[in-house]
Amino acid sequence: MPLVWTRRDRRRHGRRRQYCRQSCRQRAYEQRAMMTRGDAGASLALPADAVVLTADEAADLSDRIYQVRCAAEDIGLALDEGAGAAELRELCEGCSGRPGPPTAGAGWVSSR
């Protein structure tokens, strides 16, 4: 079974260790404490409702937000130009990625 902090694999008799060394155990504790501490380290602590994203997830989210802004701009321009209902429906379908009325948040949140 791999160890929690360093992912090293050590097989021994008796109870399995979670950490290969005391220093790895200490680093894991420090990381957990930094995330939940409410005292002097409060400036580093994350709120309970915080969402943590990887760099790739943040870039993907930024791209999606840009696409929605562009789609909203296209719909606004179409309205200013007097576009018909069929053209507006087509633009809305392009915004939501599926036929029918747009649904808030459709396809934006994925479960892990």
pLDDT score, position 97: 67
Which residues touch 61 (CB under 8 Å, ≥6 apart)? 53
Amino acid identity, position 51: V
pLDDT score, position 89: 87
Select from 88, 89, 84 the least CA-distant residue to 100. 89
Is residue 99 within 8 Å of 93, Cβ to Cβ? yes
pLDDT score, position 103: 55
**Cα–Cα dist 65/53, whole Å:** 15
Is residue 8 within 8 Å of 14, Cβ to Cβ? no
What's CA 33's distance to the chain center, in Å?
Answer: 22
pLDDT tens, the chain, 112 aa long: 566 666 666 666 777 788 888 999 999 988 887 776 655 555 566 677 888 899 999 999 999 999 889 988 999 999 999 989 889 888 888 777 665 555 555 555 555 4
What are the structural domain ranges in the chain?
A: 1-50, 55-96
